[in-house]
Amino acid sequence: MNSIHLQQTLPQVFADRDAIASDVWHQDILFCKGKRYLIEAASGTGKSSLCSFIYGYRCDYQGIINFDERNIRSLSINEWVEIRKHSLSILFQELRIFPELTAFENVQLKNRLTNYKRKKDILSLFETLGISDKVNQKAAKLSFGQQQRVAFIRSLCQPFDFIFLDEPISHLDDENGATMSRMLTEEAERQGAGIIVTSIGKYLGLEYDFSYKL
């Protein structure tokens, strides 16, 4: 996948609003593979909805979203499965970690789909983010910041053309945020992938190509 194209896209819940002041909603926006994008927004302006629309998790929007100029509403279930395995990765704001599984098992749920990373490489990611001692601990016993790092590791354990990160460092200190930025940059460059980060104020310190206000 080389591009994601939004054409006059708008959450249906916003349809009755008289005026929409946004760089994204009701605009023509093209996200290109290999570029880095920051989407800044206040709470309630739809940034998490945007990620869910593009990931195909929700379809309650107006307008058009295209992958390589194909309307995503026309994609079959099997096509979505392949896209989520090989083209799109996402770190949801609410993380979607399974509390009854260990940190490592949560990551392996994603990695087993493609066997993209070896076990020693995954363990190295845990060590780099300072949670190597949490590998075999149940996710329910981890702090939100620790779970956030587990979810980030999971998002790197697949091939992708684009990766979405919805408020990825909301519960991390500056040092961990900087480490995550470096890891994300290295993986995205390795895959030639595009990066889209959303934020309500605290965001990854990357060299962004484009910045939008939602």
pLDDT in tens, 162-195: 999 999 999 999 999 999 999 999 999 999 999 9
For the cut 90, the answer to whether the pLDDT of residue 95 exceeds it is yes
10 Å CB burial of residue 74 (0-12, 13-18, 19+) is exposed
Query: Count of domains in the chain?
Result: 1
Q: What confidence tier does 21 reach under pLDDT thresholds 50, 70, 90?
A: confident
Q: Residue 44 maps to which CATH number?
A: 3.40.50.300
Average pLDDT, the chain: 95
Percent of the chain with pLDDT over 70: 100
pLDDT reading at 17 higher than 90: no
Residue 16: band (very low, low, confident or very high) from pLDDT cuts 50, 70, 90: confident
For 119-161, how does the pLDDT look when each residue is reduced to its tens digit (9 = 90+)?
Answer: 999 999 999 999 999 999 999 999 999 999 999 999 999 999 9
pLDDT tens readout for residues 28-38: 999 999 999 99
Question: CA angle at residue 182 from 43 to 6, to 5 degrees?
Answer: 45
pTM for this model (two decimals): 0.94
Range 1-28 average pLDDT = 92
For residue 88, the model assigns a pLDDT of 98
* Burial zone of 142 (CB within 10 Å; 0-12 exposed, 13-18 middle, 19+ buried): buried
Q: In this structure, what token pair is assigned to residue 113?
A: 């789909």
Domain that holds residue 32: 3-213
Q: How confident is the model at residue 64 (pLDDT cuts 50, 70, 90)?
A: very high
pLDDT of residue 161: 98
